[in-house]
Chain A
């Protein structure tokens, strides 16, 4: 992937409401044509960050540069950004066509161009049959599409989406996620999405920033954020992870764990004392017998909890009566389900290369 131009540059942004610091010294670069997601628990300040970029909130300190233009003091109605609201905020007194045209008419664009652009967008969101309907007559997914169309029809530099899918039911949400990705790819507009849903963040974004207490913890591509996270917080927030207790012996480049013994850390750069090792639950597999393979670590344990999800089973395993680890097993054979009952003993193993070294 080639490196695109920077679309939005956020420098040392600060915003507080009374005593609470909602956005704490955030600096971010969002590149053109990216699907950038800010992921964080509710109340972490991610929506405030989005509203600061849109201009609906004014920052206390810092600057927002959109396409090289410092927009810090430009009011929301003149910024080249558009927002898709969580509640969609479609105008109830206007039909779909008028809703989509709202922004274009205000910009005094010639009627011909408006018609052209609205036509294109209606094809894109497949809503041509509904142009004279009112928002109250549409289903949730249709409203979602109209809200998106109303934002992108203005050709903004960036579309801001504030938890746009949280009001939809599970199946529709997955469908809309795919549609969002397709629309973003077709139009080549930068999207910036805010969500607390980890699956949503992983499946649709090209880049993820994890936010906590107003601070950006880590920014990474979505694959790297899951497979090669740097910070312990982001590894724990995005999906499940097993943290392996122990300590780093820096001189020998070894991680000492009571359960797994000494694990060789050679090849890892930036090793420091204050680090932990971790492994994702699905990287651990159940083995029949111990083999002398290179780079494999084995451990015996007893199943203490087992949850069946159809395609997967999530197991909790007690190793040596002390440490509990999580394993996600794919249910490949029906017959083997009996082996996953509580109380069964098993042998688990994982590859050293799948271990993640995390900063605390």
Chain B
């Protein structure tokens, strides 16, 4: 029985071939090419000298590149943190809603994910820019208040200056964080929601029955139990944030580029593929570190903690 569906089944191997071939051609080979390129050096427009030096890596840890890398980590961390703060109450609310409302809420979270990233980012621009929806609404309110003051003969008090000065919402780090948050918050909500969906609701009643109020129940029971979901959410948000380049490109200003933009530039305008490869691999190493933290965590606790979490006994 053990082998009925195992690798010994010929049909199984046959079915595996397309997938394996795909992975080999479009994942393993490119990664190997990029990896070996990261140790090379650009000699002319298309020529690369594979001299296996760490030159590109040393360059990455110098001056502006290192600063950008560091800044990318900070921005991604802030975004991840905001996502977490927002996602926990949202996930809780969804998981405690009635079935009908639950599906509506879930769809409204999933729906943006089915829309093109560029369209969503441009719509953010329409909202945030100098003459965007936020600023024009504020301007309208501003003028309306001025008119009201005039009407009441209070214009002399001059509470509002005569001219509305639009808020600088675009082309800065704030815009990047807002954009990243807007794009990636579903990836935080969904894993936390999935953990909440699976856990035994009686635990909350037990906690309440044993004397805990709602606040204590949240920190003593709900939080420890949703930690696996939080960790998955952090990984799903932090890693894409770190490598993102469209959002900083469109929403960020001249000084607010992230490491993704620099990598993109190496492969395009700067035409320095070896250096771009090295920077890409630095990102991959960082991703591996984040994932290994999660792996160690689950190894430590999997014996009872993670397993017992979902087991309904």
Contacts and interface: CB of A to CB of B under 8 A. Distances in A.
Interface of A: 54-56, 76-78, 81-83, 85-93, 102-103, 106-107, 133-137, 140, 143, 150, 154, 167
Interface string B190-210: 000000000010110111111
Contact of B225 (A93, A102, A143, A167): A93
Contact-residue size bin, chain B (C-beta under 8 Å from the other chain): 20 to 34
Contact of B304 (A82, A102, A137): A137
Main secondary structure of the interface of B (DSSP, over half): helix
Nearest to B204: A89
Interface string B11-37: 000000000000000000000000000
Contacts of B92: none
Interface centre among A85, A93, A107, A143 (most CB of B within 10 A): A93
Interface stretch (B257-265, B275-283, B305-313): B305-313
Contacts of A137: 304, 308
B208 A76 contact: yes
**Which among A56, A77, A133, A137 has the greatest number of chain B C-beta atoms within 10 A?**
A77
A344 B105 CA distance: 69
B212 interface: yes
Given A85-B202, A89-B203, A167-B313, A134 B209 contact: no
Interface in B224-238: 224-225
B209, B213, B305 pick with most chain A CB within 10 angstroms = B209
Contact of B312 (A78, A87, A134): A87
Contact of A78 (B211, B216, B313): B211
Nearest to A56: B205
B221 interface: yes
Interface of B: 200, 202-203, 205-213, 216, 220-221, 224-225, 304-305, 307-309, 311-313
Given A87-B313, A88-B313, A135-B313, A77 B308 contact: no
A143 B304 CA distance: 14
Contacts of A106: 210-212, 216
Contacts of B309: 92-93
B211 A154 contact: yes
A85 B211 contact: no
B305 A92 contact: yes
A91 B221 contact: yes
A134 B202 contact: no
B201 to A, nearest CB: 9
11 contacts: A77-B211, A77-B212, A78-B211, A86-B202, A90-B206, A91-B203, A102-B207, A102-B212, A107-B211, A137-B308, A143-B313
A165 to B, nearest CB: 14
A133 B304 CA distance: 9
Given A134-B304, A135-B313, A89 B208 contact: no
Nearest to B227: A93
Given A78-B211, A91-B221, A92-B308, A85 B206 contact: yes
A167 B311 CA distance: 14
B221 A82 contact: no
Contacts of A103: 210-211
A82 B205 CA distance: 11
